[in-house]
Structure 1
């Protein structure tokens, strides 16, 4: 039987009428904001719609390149040739030509800082199963599926407008999170504000990320723009012990993108805070026990529990303990037998595993007889009376 126990969590968080954080009204046509530290989704707007990602999809090329360096299939000082195909790209480039042989490190920085379409093609051809950018794009799609990016398909390495080249904002946030967590040694490259490659294009040396110079903790990741996609940004910022990741797309101008990105960072850090909810080993509730020496067992979290909460929360945060019971003995201490379900106002629910606070051995003969007797009495009390036993 499924049991629900309403509980006012006042262990560490003396919070009764919780006020939701003011919702963020974004001008972006699609957006996704997540608190990476807690995994809490703060905003999702058309987050699973497959849209043209423009240069933001270069992050997938970078992820695969980082994997290749990590695995020894590429080295940072290795020099790669530039094909006619790579040189033919317009838009944002490193102005490479077929006489060049460029180090992998310079190509990576050229993609991150300069958004080089040609640099992406060079990397793609080097890592493609068949030596072509199209073959690399098929690999990108397969690798993305393996990573859980189910709303992404790639037809090139750089986001050049092309039918079928699509990503969702949620997938881009997932990719950003993987770049940050899987490749901490490479991640500082995303905060570089300038890369004057070979002095070829002095007018094209600055990182287009509008947040890097603002002193608000922003340290990545990638801008994007095409006529179809509008202006977009995959951004991340860290303040104290918290990091947020956000993706926006469909803005009309670079200024609108810059204003929206800054507003998101300020909102996410100012309107939410991580607060303690429960302590390890402290009972949140108790569960009924069947055929045990004890009739109940305390339910405790394995470790201290903190959650992201709106800063304006007031009063007691209510939650539910959910378990299928009564729990049949024997029960072992630290055995997971329940969940604490908390839904902060304006945020998705969080489910926290609860474990047995102590052992509950199976009861002896008399204990089992007593349990059965209690069950029979309970069933008799709940049974409807026969017609002749009912009053007139």
Structure 2
């Protein structure tokens, strides 16, 4: 049997083609992602480990969410406040050593107030010390595939050992949204005042939560700022069926961060549209079959095929069914035997979709095998004769 890498060019009927106008962000590093279609829309220095400032608090929140999920703590569990926690500078939820805040209080204190003190309380409460907790953060990041992240503390306090890439922060944001839907709404809350101690400027600094956009709304996640990192934001917004997650860093001011965040969300929603390209089970191509009861088998998508397409595109999408064939019989309906590789103008990476066999193809009987054997002998004879 001769295995060949075969490509079948397809013509998909859809509106598409001129590239979406690339977004030229002022951020020094950025990552923009459409969660609905798992499409990266923009990358800029996205895999470079950078100082994450308070955006790294998302990893502290993730470990606390995981502790809630596996029952190690509940929302009512209380934790002591050490002198170390009380002494933390920067953003705070205004804890003191006489307090016993609950896990619910601490989550709100971290997410809404960006409390460095709350982060230390959580770190000490879960791991005994902040340094031990930071080691757990790094280990967990590796387990989640966040290979460009390392942690020296729970709060994002400036430290040469505290680094995250924008891509890793985006992966973490997607996890918090998808894995912990029961707790994620906290990220949309704008005020929290533990024991009436917090001034107004201690509330959520996410500028998108304050917008009254008509057709999209933001619901998370975390701002960050240090002199070294500049102003950054891990954000998420929803419009219709689509959810956008984005991470930006290195902006020069709160105003610039707010402007850039809104511009990125508008671009992501308005320069791309969600298109239904093919229904589940639609035959998109055929593959030849080796020694089968049929000479070919249809190739179909296993799920409805929906892709994000640049809004201004026209007739430039390229789709290829790629497989190694002929495909040896027997073949069962639903077996993955090919891939659909779709190149979309305006997106850097092609989209790859599995294609499966449309129907069963049984192994051929005696006559099929005899015919194949005769064809092989004939081909060898012609090759030997130099024909």
TM range (shorter): over 0.9
Find the counterpart in structure 1 of residue 275 from structure 2.
275
- 1:28-67 equivalence runs, <5 A: 28-67=27-66
5+ long unaligned stretches in structure 2: none
- 288 and 379 in structure 1: CA distance in 2 versus 1, 3 angstrom threshold: farther
The alpha-carbon deviation at position 295 of structure 1 amounts to 1.1
5+ long unaligned stretches in structure 1: none
Find the counterpart in structure 1 of residue 117 from structure 2.
118
CA contact (8 A) 2:29 2:45 kept: yes
The alpha-carbon deviation at position 303 of structure 1 amounts to 2.0
- 349 and 380 in structure 1: CA distance in 2 versus 1, 3 angstrom threshold: farther
Give the 3-state SS of the residue equivalent to 1:158 in structure 2. Answer: coil
Task: Figure out how many residues of one structure are paired with residues of the other and give that number.
Answer: 380
- 1:103-252 equivalence runs, <5 A: 103-128=102-127, 131-215=128-212, 216-252=216-252
Find the counterpart in structure 1 of residue 12 from structure 2.
9
- 239 and 384 in structure 1: CA distance in 2 versus 1, 3 angstrom threshold: farther
The alpha-carbon deviation at position 352 of structure 1 amounts to 1.0
Find the counterpart in structure 1 of residue 333 from structure 2.
333
CA contact (8 A) 2:6 2:323 kept: yes
Find the counterpart in structure 2 of residue 354 from structure 1.
355
CA contact (8 A) 1:197 1:205 kept: no
Give the 3-state SS of the residue equivalent to 2:79 in structure 1. Answer: strand
The alpha-carbon deviation at position 85 of structure 1 amounts to 0.8
The alpha-carbon deviation at position 351 of structure 1 amounts to 1.0
CA contact (8 A) 2:78 2:102 kept: yes
The alpha-carbon deviation at position 316 of structure 1 amounts to 5.8
Give the 3-state SS of the residue equivalent to 2:185 in structure 1. Answer: helix
CA contact (8 A) 1:14 1:316 kept: no
The alpha-carbon deviation at position 380 of structure 1 amounts to 6.3
Report which stretch shifted further, 114-123 or 188-197.
188-197
Residues of 2 paired with 1:380 and 1:223: CA distance? 73
Q: Deviations over 1:239-264 (max 9, x none)?
A: 11100100000001111100000001
The alpha-carbon deviation at position 70 of structure 1 amounts to 2.0
- 201 and 282 in structure 1: CA distance in 2 versus 1, 3 angstrom threshold: closer
Residues of 1 paired with 2:135 and 2:87: CA distance? 21
Residues of 2 paired with 1:317 and 1:46: CA distance? 27
TM-score of the superposed pair, with normalisation by structure 1: 0.93
The alpha-carbon deviation at position 148 of structure 1 amounts to 1.0
Q: Deviations over 1:209-238 (max 9, x none)?
A: 000011331000000000000000000001
The alpha-carbon deviation at position 205 of structure 1 amounts to 3.7
Report which stretch shifted further, 96-105 or 319-328.
96-105
TM-score of the superposed pair, with normalisation by structure 2: 0.95
- 378 and 349 in structure 1: CA distance in 2 versus 1, 3 angstrom threshold: farther
CA contact (8 A) 2:316 2:345 kept: no
Residues of 1 paired with 2:24 and 2:248: CA distance? 12
Give the aligned CA root-mean-square deviation in angstroms. 1.6
CA contact (8 A) 1:281 1:301 kept: yes
CA contact (8 A) 1:111 1:119 kept: yes
Residues of 2 paired with 1:95 and 1:316: CA distance? 57
CA contact (8 A) 2:94 2:194 kept: no
Q: Deviations over 1:260-290 (max 9, x none)?
A: 0000100000011110111222210100111
Residues of 2 paired with 1:75 and 1:297: CA distance? 54
Q: Deviations over 1:336-365 (max 9, x none)?
A: 111111011121211111111111111122
